[in-house]
Structure 1
Amino acid sequence: MALSKQKLPETMVSPETGETLRRDVRPFIVSYKGKSITVELPGYYPENGDEGVHVGDDMAVTDMALRNLKEEVEGIPSPTTIKRVREKLRLSQREAGGLLKVGENAFDKYERGLVEPSGPTSQLLRLLDQHPELVEELRGTAA
């Protein structure tokens, strides 16, 4: 998931307290089914305390951490893994969607993190990653 390079102001006024908040990063724990990871969460924070205001792509770091935990715990491939496997198989997004029967635009959505692949699609991607030669079998059945 690409993070934008938009330049944000160094300070903002808290909409709740009126206090001046400064642009900073703070540790934030992302948990999923008993597994946790600590990320550096950008945002606007008060001098004392961790309650911040997050704008733009600030939460993308937590989204990516959650996707990575889901991959570790349940085997649901992250957008990065999906793109890596698709490129390893030398498939365009459109070809991959057609070959796996998930729709021509599905891989675009998977790789941008907008949609998670279904269980069967996740399993098929795992198998194709381990046995890339199987893509030729799929091509044979698609013809």
Structure 2
Amino acid sequence: MAVMEKSIPQTMVSPETGETLHRGVRPFVVTYKGKSITVELPGYYPVNGDEGIHVGSDMAVSDAALRTLKEEIEGIPSPSTIRRVRRKLKLSQREAGGLLKVGENAFDKYERGLIEPSGPTSQLLKLLERHPELVEDLRST
């Protein structure tokens, strides 16, 4: 049986203006603590103008850019960095949560971007990335 993909409508009517909006992308600047990244933000936009309506996962692009800036500026690891380090250590999400004493479901939430790891957890992940052999020390405590 074939899986049906959800079709995204290519137009919608603006609830504010009644104007027809068209599916597309526009440049959007994400700024955090004085540093900026420009992303291509999907959404429904008028023919003339940048004010759009964003639905579903449209904002995931700007969320990812913000996480990238936070990682660069404050050292808070992004979901992709957390996943990469955990896999490098050959740990399941559940094992990693238990080993770092943050709860069995924490890494699922970190890797989906639902929550950010605490400062100490972020620091420990940095250490484990540089020194993966320390996992064995954590296992023995």
Q: TM-score, normalised by structure 1?
A: 0.94
Question: Which ranges in structure 1 are unaligned for 5 or more consecutive residues?
Answer: none
C-alpha deviation, 1:63, in angstroms: 0.4
C-alpha deviation, 1:7, in angstroms: 2.5
CA distance in 2 between partners of 1:16 and 1:32 (Å): 30
Q: TM-score, normalised by structure 2?
A: 0.96
What amino acid sits opposite 1:116 in the alignment? Answer: E
CA distance in 2 between partners of 1:6 and 1:82 (Å): 30
Alignment of 1:42 onto 2:39 = no
Aligned length: 137
Task: Encode CA deviations 1:14-45: one digit per residue, 9 max, x unaligned.
Answer: 01000000001000000000110000000000
Question: Which ranges in structure 2 are unaligned for 5 or more consecutive residues?
Answer: none
What amino acid sits opposite 2:57 in the alignment? Answer: D
What amino acid sits opposite 1:18 in the alignment? Answer: G
Task: Encode CA deviations 1:61-85: one digit per residue, 9 max, x unaligned.
Answer: 0000000100000000000000000
Q: Pairwise mapping of residues 1-143 of structure 1 onto structure 2 (< 5 A)? A: 6-141=6-141
Q: CA RMSD in A?
A: 0.8
CA distance in 2 between partners of 1:51 and 1:113 (Å): 26
Ranked by relative contact order (alpha carbons within 8 Å, sequence separation 6 or more), the top structure is 1
CA distance in 2 between partners of 1:121 and 1:34 (Å): 25
Divergent runs of 4+, >2 A? none
